[in-house]
Amino acid sequence: MRRMFGFMIGIVVGALIGSTVALLLAPETGEKFRSELRARGEILVNDVRNAAEARRIELTEQLESMRAPRTS
């Protein structure tokens, strides 16, 4: 549990540092770059939601097949 928490903190800190550096070194205007980042973020969130939903459906089907009575 402790290692997982440390890993998650590392991800958050790395993301913050990376986004700050990207904003400072971006060749585009800040507003345009932020809108692109926002759009990419929305796509990423949608992809994660879709993957989670697909996995949930898959696991639900597996659970139902495990609960079904066996025919010998």
CB contact at 8 A, 23 and 30: yes
Cα(66)–Cα(30) distance, integer angstroms: 53
Per-domain residue ranges of the chain: 2-67
pLDDT (tens digit per residue) in 18-59: 888 877 777 777 788 788 888 998 999 999 999 999 999 999
Cα(18)–Cα(10) distance, integer angstroms: 12
Please identify which residue in the block is written with the tokens 């609960």. 67
- pTM of the shown model: 0.52
